[in-house]
Amino acid sequence: MNSPDRRILISELCNTLENYMSKGQIEGVYQAYIVAATAHDGQYRQSGEAYVFHPISVAMILAELKLDYYCIVAAILHDCIEDTSVTYEQIKRDFGDEIAHIVEGVSKLTGLEFHSNTDKQAQNFRKLFLAMSDDMRVMIIKLADRLHNMRTLGSMRRDKQLRIAKETVEIHAPIARRLGLNSIRVELDNLCFAIIYPFRNKVLVNQIKKQCGNRKKIISHIQTEIKNRLDQKGMPNADINGRKKQPCSIYRKMKIKHLKFSQVLDMYALRVIVADVAQCYQALGIIHNLYKPLPGKFKDYVALPKLNGYQSLHTVLFGPNKIFIEVQICSSDMHFISEYGIAAHWHYKSNSNHKSELANNWLGSLLDIQQNSGTSIEFLEETKADLFPSKVFVFTPEGDIIQLPYKSTVLDFAYMVHTSIGNHTLKAKVDQVNTPISTELKSGQTIEVITDDRATPRSSWLQIAITVKARSSIKAYLKNESAAELIQLGEYLLTNALDYQNIDTDGIDEAQWLACLKALNCDSKEDMYMKIGLSEILVSVALNKLQGDNAKYAAQKISIHKTQGKAISFAHCCHPIPGDKVTGVLTTSKGMVIHRVICANLVHAKNKNAQWLNIDWQADKDEEFKAMIAVDVANQRGTLASIASVISKMNINIEHLEIQEKDNFIKSLNMVISVANITQLNEVFVQLKTLEFVRDVSRV
């Protein structure tokens, strides 16, 4: 690996490429350098260095991963379209479609900044993953680009260094980990750690150097002993190499497990590389016979691989002089994947397609999130959650292993098996015991999901599911189910606004509708109605587009007569009923939510710039609505029965009841009742106040 602050020359890059590329391909790389050097002539980085050294350094990072010709050339040209006069057509003409396509993909991501407001950050993050889904090499180049930028942060102000480092820890390093790009991930983590915690990094580097220096002879002795024992047992070709643990990983372990530096046992790791899977387990037995293993420290990532494809057997040995050493045992193929990750698919030695599966499953889940996420912020949060490795391994009744994130539930398991099973989950058996679908799972459990065609997703399931696949599937189902109601609500709101303006909908010709739909970027009237119902399009904007550019109308008040069958709901915070002064707030998930004008949550919604409309509400006679009241009564026997009797005689249902002790003499009955309107509620107040033990009746 090259020194972070050293300038890389094109001759050094070509020398590295000679190890695995043909002479013709290297000449193509040099030609790309000529184009980039000419295009970037006169451009300099903040450090004062000529700009062209940056794309050469990015290409060198990828050359050390032995990536293919197309990726190396694209890395050299990756800033040309964005920052110079070189065009996509020129690159396509000189270097071909594939390279031009990759360069264009990286160019679309150039300048993405994640430090602005949350929504802009989320939108840029969404662009990043959409580009990655088109060609994974776009992301690999982007990660190499970020790595070189991290290596050269020294010329920037401290505040910029911190911002970029924190962004890298949150976004880029987890992506590199998920894609198995170990060398890039490790260096990103350590560079970020050194910038964010410079003093802690300095202390840990000195301690690691001191400890490993003192134990160098013993570690070398252990390495030799293991090599000799494997030779004796018929594995003379086993390769053993060692490495020190990095400051960042040691700090993370100390922080998570609340350890002192002296309590971190496995400061040094040996990697044993053998021929195949069988020899992995054979070598494990041989090594455990040589040195005693530490109980509880064995991990089998061969049988249960990590999501990024990593496979290895991990064990911690109790060596001489009370030294603990971690040993990782893997086959040569496993070692190859652990070193190169998803980059193995474009590696010069790769001649198969199966390695691309390391990322395809994840990309598939990302595309599901992209399609089903209501907002970019939602996409950002759910994807971040999906970047971290699984912690729970459970089994189907057939014995298949399912990997799930920590704290996953039975419902998450059902969706992981198949979306249709998740959508019709009724209950489940965990280790043959009937279990609710909200139960958190533990490794080693066997789960049997019981389905029913009549069982369908409910909004409450979103409180149970934690995996991206489950949550996106539930949201997609709920969105499809509520589509008809949202369309009806949008049409109702627009028609009502037109009536308020005394505009006859029959008088709007087809040309006006088409112009309106085009201006609002809608495929059809139904699409527009749904977007109005979801508050993605303001009613006033749609109305103005229908009337032409000169129209200036802001929808302020609408009339509502019937709420059933339209995506209209009533706020539980204030329980509005007909006769109240109310306001409707259009949301991106529930359609319209009606609040009383005195509701504190309505003020909060208005302050957040939500779209709201004053409502003239005349409900149908057969509709009933919930109202919450508080009845303060003397603390004596029979009060609850008397109140229930009065309410029952008025043909009113009590939906919910809570009793609160105020003091030794007074208690408060908080109840939700169903009434038709404010008039009927006032009658309830009058009848309750006739009871001699009732001290006060009020609306909550």
Q: Which residues are catalytic?
A: 82-83
Here the tokens at position 359 are: 């990322």
Residue 659: phi and psi, rounded to 5, are -110, 130
Here the tokens at position 114 are: 């994640």
Q: Are 329 and 313 in contact (CB under 8 A)?
A: yes
Distance CA 549, CA 678 (A): 42
- 417-424 long-range Cβ contacts below 8 angstroms, 24+ apart: 417/449, 419/469, 419/473, 421/449, 421/451, 422/457, 422/470, 422/473, 422/474, 423/456, 423/457, 423/473, 423/477, 424/451, 424/452, 424/453, 424/455, 424/456
Hey, how many other C-beta atoms are within 10 angstroms of the C-beta on 303? 11
Between the alpha carbon of residue 669 and those of residues 82, 118, 654, 663, 699, the distances in Å are 68, 44, 12, 13, 12
Q: Are 81 and 107 in contact (CB under 8 A)?
A: yes
Distance CA 537, CA 546 (A): 13
CA quadruple 253, 254, 256, 257: dihedral sign: positive
- 225-234 long-range Cβ contacts below 8 angstroms, 24+ apart: 225/290, 226/270, 226/272, 226/287, 226/290, 226/327, 229/286, 229/287, 229/289, 229/290, 230/272, 230/274, 230/283, 230/286, 233/282, 233/286
HSE at residue 220, side-chain half, CA atoms within 13 A, is: 6
> CB-based contacts of 512: which residues, under 8 Å, 6+ apart?
546, 548
Distance CA 327, CA 286 (A): 12
Here the tokens at position 74 are: 């694209």
Q: How far is CA 355 from the centre of its chain?
A: 24
Here the tokens at position 315 are: 């064990």
Please provide the DSSP assignment of 191-218 as one string: HHHHHHSHHHHHHHHHHHHHHHHHTHHH
Q: Are 1 and 43 in contact (CB under 8 A)?
A: no
Distance CA 406, CA 441 (A): 8
Distance CA 380, CA 126 (A): 7
Under DSSP, is residue 266 helix (H, G, I), strand (E, B) or coil? Answer: coil
Distance CA 257, CA 572 (A): 43
